[in-house]
């Protein structure tokens, strides 16, 4: 996370000049999408009645959000085709709508993979609950500073984040079986 901290600091002012708050979440959303390219089974849905798995072409990353109306899980659609900046714009839009209690059905439907930021409330680890019919969810813990040795043996502070995740094992069984 140390390199991400530096990168965000470099980009933050340029984003603010465009009216966009750049948090770490757009980077994490993009990283999740890139991982889904390598593990497409995690971007699928399961139908237990029909005993089928449907792989989703679009990465519609859903984000758990605390709103005045309670927990809502809107999603950023087509993340695989978006830049980090475009993700930040969409995330800002969803956060503003969520704070105003005005998320639409379109914003809340169609998620294919979820992320929960438990770090925003100080959490480190979690057992995230899968939002059916999705088959996986990730939980991002609080970023912490830890001591690490550099390649030259010098002790330096480093930023680290734990990521917890849950997956429906039945998706893998059906794929293999």
Active site residues: 169
Q: What is the DSSP string of 120-134?
A: GGT-----PPP-TTB
At 138 the three-state DSSP class reads strand
Answer whether 124's CB lies under 8 Å from 142's CB: yes
First-to-last alpha carbon distance for the chain, in angstroms, is 38
Q: No. of H helices and E strands in the chain?
A: 5, 11
- Output the six-digit token pair for 39: 């593990």
Q: Give the separation between CA 45 and CA 111, rounded to whole angstroms.
A: 10
């Amino acid at each position: 996370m140390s390199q991400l901290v530096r990168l965000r600091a470099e980009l933050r002012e340029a984003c603010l000049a465009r009216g966009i708050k750049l948090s770490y979440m757009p980077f994490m959303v993009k990283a999740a999408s890139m991982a889904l390219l390598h593990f497409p089974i995690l971007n699928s849905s399961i139908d237990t009645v029909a005993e089928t798995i449907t792989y989703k072409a679009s990465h519609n990353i859903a984000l758990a959000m605390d709103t005045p109306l309670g927990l809502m899980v809107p999603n950023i659609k087509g993340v695989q085709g978006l830049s980090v900046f475009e993700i930040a714009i969409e995330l800002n839009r969803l956060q503003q709508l969520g704070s105003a209690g005005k998320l639409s059905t379109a914003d809340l439907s169609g998620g294919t993979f979820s992320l929960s930021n438990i770090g925003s409330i100080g959490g480190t680890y979690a057992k995230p609950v899968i939002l059916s019919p999705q088959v996986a969810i990730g939980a991002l813990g609080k970023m912490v500073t830890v001591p690490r040795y550099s390649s030259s043996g010098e002790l330096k502070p480093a930023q680290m984040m734990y990521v917890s995740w849950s997956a429906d094992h039945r998706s893998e069984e059906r794929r293999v079986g």
